Amino acid sequence: MTALRAGVAGLGTMGRHHARVLATLPGVRLVGACDPDPGAARHAVAGLPVFEDLDRLLALGLDICVVAAPTLAHAGIGTRLAEAGVHTLIEKPLAASAEEGRALAAAFERAGLVGCVGHIERFNPVIRALRERIARGEIGTVLQVATSRQGPYPRRIRDVGVILDLASHDIDLTRWITGSPYLKVSAVTNRVVGGSSHEDLAAVAGVLEDGTVVSHLVNWLSPVKERLVTVTGELGSLRGDLLAPALRLHRHDRGCAPGGRAGAGPVADGRGVACELAVHEPLKAELEGFVAAVRGRADHIVPLQAGVEVMDVTSAILSAPRVGVEVPHGGRADAAPQGSAAVAVVPPRTGEDDAAPAQAPAVSYGGLPVLVAGYVPALNSRRFF
């Protein structure tokens, strides 16, 4: 079997991890990488050729490539790889907008190439076990999915906020474990740390098409890193810690079917039962699935269309805070601060905020143009408010 010639575009934190794993996969030969940072080669796999532009990497005759460049560069690099006939895995988020994501998906489909997006949580042993137990009906009909993903500020992230960088993980895993698309979303976001134009804290609430209620808490402000998922069903709940990794099943004695009597039965065991996990490195499983798909042996990948659907949801979330909703103080004159009749939960944008954004300066990444802008994707009114 001829080894697949592999490359990596972007040698940041994730790019270096991809290079490390690709270098160990049987049937794969890591031949090079590209990154516009002249110092990137210092952090690459020993002896790996590193170029400052994509064309020189493509000249090595790639069969497969991983795109781990900044999000704003994904569309340009991905399109160029599709044109060159290279099967590609693009790190999440797929692109800077749903429109760019749709164009990427169409480009790979036209070329007849494998194109996938790196929503790595689908390969986390906790999420896989959780999905399997839901499918077996162990907690009955799913009623709610709640996630918490927080930790210290990552110095490596500069081009997106917590919605695209963190919440996109939880949006994809929620859709995957429930099998239901998002119907409506609302959100409150904030920017606490200076030096960035993007949100670093968000609380998202929504409902799926099957009626499941969802909530996602994300921030870059906590000194404690956590990745938690709780799925509540009629018969009990599954609580997953994606970092441990650990999964516990908690069961009701009698369940909580809709229309039933409240408090019909206590939880049988407050501590729950530990679930057995098939522990593996998620990134390795993701790349093995990508390679298998390229060889036509399996289809254990996250298709680009799934990445587009996540972008539709993040676009709606980023649009949601633009609509201000005020909470009145019940007419009590002493309830509100002096000079104020209400507290704005989400302040509406006015004045300059409603104006069209100015043309952003053009820069390049790996020889490809990149538009740097504070882009807020348009609302998909067909599926979200």
Residue 262: pLDDT over 60: no
In a domain, residue 140? The reply is: yes
User: Is position 366 within any domain?
Assistant: no
Does one domain contain both 287 and 245? no
The CA angle 295-96-372, to the nearest 5 degrees, is: 125
CATH of the domain at 20: 3.40.50.720
* HSE of 332, CA atoms in CB hemisphere, 13 A: 7
Per-residue pLDDT at 265: 47
Asked if the structure places residue 235 within a domain, the reply is yes
pLDDT tens digits for 195-228?
778 999 999 999 999 999 999 999 999 999 999 9
Q: Check whether residue 291 and residue 268 sit in a common domain.
A: no
Determine the structural domain holding residue 50 and report its residue range. 4-120+283-310
Phi, psi of 63 (to 5 degrees): -100, -40
- The pLDDT value recorded for residue 39 is 87
pLDDT, tens digit, 9 for 90 and up, residues 328-366: 654 344 443 333 222 222 333 334 444 333 344 444 555
Say whether both 11 and 36 belong to one domain: yes
The residue among 140 and 43 whose pLDDT is bigger is: 140
**Domain co-membership, 57 together with 203:** no
301 and 226 share a domain? no
Same domain membership, residue 126 and residue 155: yes
Distance from C-alpha of 297 to C-alpha of 294, rounded to nearest angstrom: 8
- pTM of this structure: 0.82
Task: Answer with the residue of higher pLDDT: 276 or 346.
Answer: 276
Are 159 and 270 within one domain?
yes
Residue 277 scores a pLDDT above 70: yes
Bridge partners of 277? none
For residue 56, pLDDT over 90 is answered with yes
Number of independent structural domains in the chain? 2
Does 113 lie in the same domain as 61?
yes
Q: Domain check: are 63 and 138 in the same one?
A: no
- 352 belongs to a structural domain: no
Q: How far apart are CA 98 and CA 308, in angstroms?
A: 6
Are both 112 and 152 inside the same structural domain?
no
Answer left, alpha or beta for residue 191, where phi above 0 means left and psi between -120 and 50 means alpha.
beta
Greater model confidence, 142 or 339 = 142
| 77 and 18 in a common domain | yes
Of 67, 98, 106, nearest in space to 375 by CA = 98
